A and B are shown apart, each in its own frame.
Chain A
Amino acid sequence: MIRFSYWQFRLPLYIVLGGLAAVAVIAALTGPALAHLYDTTVANCASTGGDCSTARSVFNAHDQVLKVIAQMIPLGLPAVLGMFWGAPLVARELESGTFRLAWTQGRSRLRWLAAKLAVVGLATLVVQGLLSLAMTWWWSPVGRADPNRFSPALFSAFGIAPIGYAAFALALGITAGVVIRRTLPAMATTLAVFVGVRLAVTFWVRPYYAAATRLVLPISAGQTIGIDSPSRGQLSLNFFPPDIPNAWVLSSQATNAAGQQASGALLSQQCPPLLQAQVGHGSWDTALSSCVTTLAKTFHQTVVYQPASRYWPFQWAELGLFVVLAGILVAFSAWWIRRRLA
């Protein structure tokens, strides 16, 4: 049964393996150059000491397209596997009627499904795992130049979480195919649901894997301040959070005890010189620093974040969550094949 499942699965397997090989070749050709560039710019600068922002921006400006692609491939592969491996796995047999042939041989439907899952599931884990390895290797100079990998896009592209996504996408495709019974609608459904679940988890579930750390700081004129002035007399000051190395900053707000932000009426009341400076009366810098000094008496900046040390626990939590979801979907598909398609 397993041998037949493999035999049946050869073509889609070889196509994806071919794609993987192409990606590996491109990575192998461009990876060393990127590492060399890193060594001659950022690493070179760091060894001499001093401000490396110029070296960093030179490095960051290179190979931008490849860097975007290197993020997109691991993000997109699970969806591709779910659509092209998962959805047709059962749906194609239901569509073409061959399930009547397959389910009347000497093996039960559950063994039939288990054999298919064993082959396609293993292939999924291997393909996604190999791709993750290749992309992580390729990305490592970029990661050294900017080590923050906790942002939503990078978190989902590297590490072990993508393996969970791939398992989930495959199970989702299989389930959609079993329930919808047609390949193309099942593929479309797989893509839509996969993207929806991934976004929902990223923004509504992942921040809560552990209670976020809260940091309350005084504001100061020394920190980076963004100034919005949509129109004359309408000013708002945005206090940028202090740099928390490699953390995932969930929110950052400067407010007074009443929860008001530094903008509009409050600002014109507290800092009249600033508004005058805006229309050209007096020095802007002086007005701003005196304003911040005034505000600092009542304002505090609250930063909510997940510290860098939680990166791997969060990777494991994400992997675990998606593996559990995949398990539930597989169990549901098995039940449906056994009971509902009877």
Chain B
Amino acid sequence: MNAVMEARGLGKRYGRRWALADCSLEIPAGRVVGLVGPNGAGKTTLLQLAVGLLAPSAGQITVLGNAPGTQLGKAGFVAQDAPAYANLTISDHLRFGTWTNDGFDLAGAQARIEQLGIDLRQRSGRLSGGQRAQLALTLALAKRPQLLVLDEPVASLDPLARREFLQLLMEAVVEDELSVILSSHLIADLERVCDYLIVLAGSRVQVAGPIDELLALHHRLTGPRPRRGQPLPAGQELITESHTDVQSTLIVRHASPILDPAWSVSDISLEDLVLAYISRNSRGSTQVPHTLKVAS
């Protein structure tokens, strides 16, 4: 079993709107996967499908080799905003974990909470957003899952809490060799912890792959603005383009080296890569700019 998550033609429809459409993915084990995309892109839908909170309207998904929801103990999940029982204490939550999971690491979880300086007798409703996120992560980790699924875990946290959360997460990843899928719209956070990227926009997967490979595959081309009808360098897939009167900047995914001396080639950052795919989607992926032909 190599893939922690495998989706084929996966889709989820609400009424007439597809929150996620035609999603095919194969996420290898041992990765920290960043799922990124604008709000409403379908990130939460995909993650909830992965943990069995939602059932697909189309296609299939397997997680750790099984249908989601059949082996709940193997996947840990932290939902958006880290829900907790507001009128129960932290130790109630840990007991909840013990009572609802086999092999729950109660001692480890208690140690982690104490290490964070949170009082076990405190009600979870009185925790700060960061502490609640830490509690949710602690609960999920204490299940000793093979896969950890985190939905926007740091979105509501201040920068310091965010750093602490990600640090705790990375320690766990190193210690327990688990696979992680986390969604975020903050690329900087993903860059710090992730080694695999999925860009989701407009309910569809735009690009997916190991981050180092993606960065090696994509380049920024800068050069004089091409005349009408003039083709791009061969072997390039145009992701986005921007033009001034005399100069064009293209972001391309290339299959072969670019030898055309008219273009200067530079590396792009993860942020540029993500934004390129998101902005390509927002303009409509099927639209081909009339001033440029996309060489196949």
B209 CB, nearest partner CB in chain A, Å: 27
**A131 CB to nearest B CB, Å:** 27
Pick the most buried of A7, A96, A100: most chain B CB atoms within 10 A of its CB.
A100
- A4 close to B (CB within 8 Å): yes
A97 touches B54 (CB 8 A): no
- Complex: chain A residue closest to B124, CB-CB: A98
Q: Is residue A197 within 8 Å, beta carbon to beta carbon, of the partner chain? A: no
Question: Is there an interface contact between A8 and B88, defined as CB atoms closer than 8 Å?
Answer: yes
Q: Is the CB of B72 within 8 A of A106?
A: yes
B-side interface mostly: loop
Question: Counting CB contacts under 8 A, is A297 at the interface?
Answer: no
- Supposing A105-B143, A342-B53 touch, asked if A3 and B99 sit within 8 A by C-beta, the answer is yes
Within 256-292 of A, Cβ neighbours of B (below 8 Å) are at none
Q: What residues on B are CB-neighbors of A108 within 8 Å? A: 69, 72
Which residues of the partner chain B approach A339 to less than 8 Å between Cβ atoms?
Answer: 55
Check: B233 CB closer than 8 A to any chain A CB: no
A192 to chain B, nearest CB (A): 28
CA distance A107 to B73 in the complex (A): 8
A65 interface residue, CB < 8 Å from B? Answer: no
Please, which residue of chain B has its CB at the minimum distance from the CB of A109? B69
| Contact across chains for B83 and A105 when beta carbons are under 8 A apart | no
Q: Which residues of B contact A101 (CB under 8 A)?
A: 79, 83-85, 136, 139
Q: Check A342–B83 contact: CB distance below 8 A.
A: no
- Bitwise interface map of A from 26 to 50 toward B, beta carbon under 8 Å scored 1, else 0: 0000000000000000000000000
A103 within 8 A of B: yes
- In the complex, A104 has a CB within 8 A of chain B: yes
Find chain A residues with CB under 8 A from B76 CB: 104
Q: Quick check: is A1 within 8 A (CB to CB) of the other chain?
A: yes
1/0 per residue, CB under 8 A from A, across B46-81: the answer is: 001001111100000000000001001101110101
B264 interface residue (CB < 8 Å to A): no
Q: When the two chains form their complex, are residues B83 and A103 in contact, meaning their CB atoms are under 8 A apart?
A: no
Given contact pairs A4-B96, A106-B72, A107-B72, A96 touches B143 in the complex (Cβ within 8 A): no
Contact assessment for A103 and B100 in the assembled complex, using a CB-CB cutoff below 8 Å: no
In contact, A96 and B83 (Cβ under 8 angstroms): yes
A342: nearest chain-B partner, CB-CB? B55
Q: How far is the CA of A3 from the CA of B83 in the complex (A)?
A: 20
Query: CA of A102 to CA of B101 in the docked complex: distance in angstroms?
Result: 11
B191 contacts chain A at the CB level, 8 A cutoff: no
Known A1-B100, A4-B100, A106-B143; judge A98-B84 contact (CB<8 A): yes
CB neighbours of A98 from chain B (8 A): 83-85
Q: Which of A3, A11, A106 contacts B101 (CB 8 A)?
A: A106
Interface membership of B86, Cβ < 8 A? yes
Q: What are the residues of chain A within 8 A of B139 when measuring CB–CB?
A: 101
Contact with B along A83-110 (1 / 0, CB 8 A): 0000000000000111011111111100
* B102 at the binding interface (Cβ < 8 Å): yes
Q: What is the chain B residue whose CB lies nearest that of A112?
A: B100
Give chain A nearest CB distance to B276 CB in angstroms: 33
Interface size for chain A: under 10, 10 to 19, 20 to 34, or 35 or more residues? 20 to 34
Q: Give the nearest-CB partner of A104 in chain B.
A: B77
Contact A7/B83 with A100-B53, A104-B51, A106-B73 known, Cβ cut-off 8 Å: no
> A105's contact among B54, B72, B85, B86, by CB below 8 Å, is which?
B72
Q: How far is the CA of A342 from the CA of B12 in the complex (A)?
A: 11
- Using Cβ atoms and an 8 Å threshold, which residues of chain A touch B100? 1, 4, 102, 105-107, 112
The answer on a CB contact under 8 Å between B75 and A4 is no
Complex Cα gap A101–B88 (Å): 14
- The answer to whether the Cβ of B164 comes within 8 Å of any Cβ in the partner chain is no
Which single member of A11, A97, A106 contacts B79 (CB below 8 Å)?
A: A97
* CB-contacts of A195-230 with B (<8 A): none
Please measure, in the bound complex, the distance between the C-alpha atom of A338 and the C-alpha atom of B79, giving whole angstroms: 19
Q: How far is the CA of A8 from the CA of B96 in the complex (A)?
A: 10
| Closest Cβ neighbor of A100 among chain B residues | B79
Residues of A within 8 A of B126 (CB): none
The answer to whether A1 touches B53, judged by C-beta atoms less than 8 angstroms apart, is no
Contact of A7 among B52, B55, B77, B92 (CB under 8 A): B92
Chain A residues within 8 Å of B99, by CB:
1, 3-4
Residue B95 lies at the interface, judged by CB distance under 8 Å to chain A: yes
The yes or no answer to B97 lying at the interface (CB within 8 A) is yes
CB pair B102 A106 closer than 8 Å = yes
Least CB separation from B93: chain A residue: A101
A-B contacts, 30 listed (Cβ < 8 Å) = A1-B99, A3-B99, A4-B96, A7-B88, A8-B85, A96-B83, A96-B86, A97-B81, A97-B83, A98-B84, A98-B85, A100-B53, A100-B77, A101-B84, A101-B85, A101-B136, A101-B139, A102-B100, A103-B72, A104-B72, A105-B73, A105-B143, A106-B72, A106-B101, A107-B72, A107-B101, A108-B69, A108-B72, A339-B55, A342-B54
Q: Which 7 residue pairs spanning A and B have beta carbons closest together? A: A342-B55, A100-B79, A97-B83, A106-B73, A105-B100, A106-B101, A104-B77
Residues of chain B touching chain A, judged by Cβ–Cβ distance below 8 Å, are 48, 51-55, 69, 72-73, 75-77, 79, 81, 83-88, 92, 95-97, 99-102, 136, 139, 143
Residue ranges of A at the interface with B (Cβ–Cβ < 8 Å): 1, 3-4, 7-8, 11, 96-98, 100-108, 112, 339, 342
List 15 extra interface pairs beyond A105-B72, A105-B96, A339-B55, CB under 8 A. A4-B99, A8-B88, A11-B87, A96-B85, A97-B79, A100-B77, A100-B83, A101-B79, A101-B136, A104-B51, A104-B72, A104-B76, A106-B72, A107-B72, A107-B100
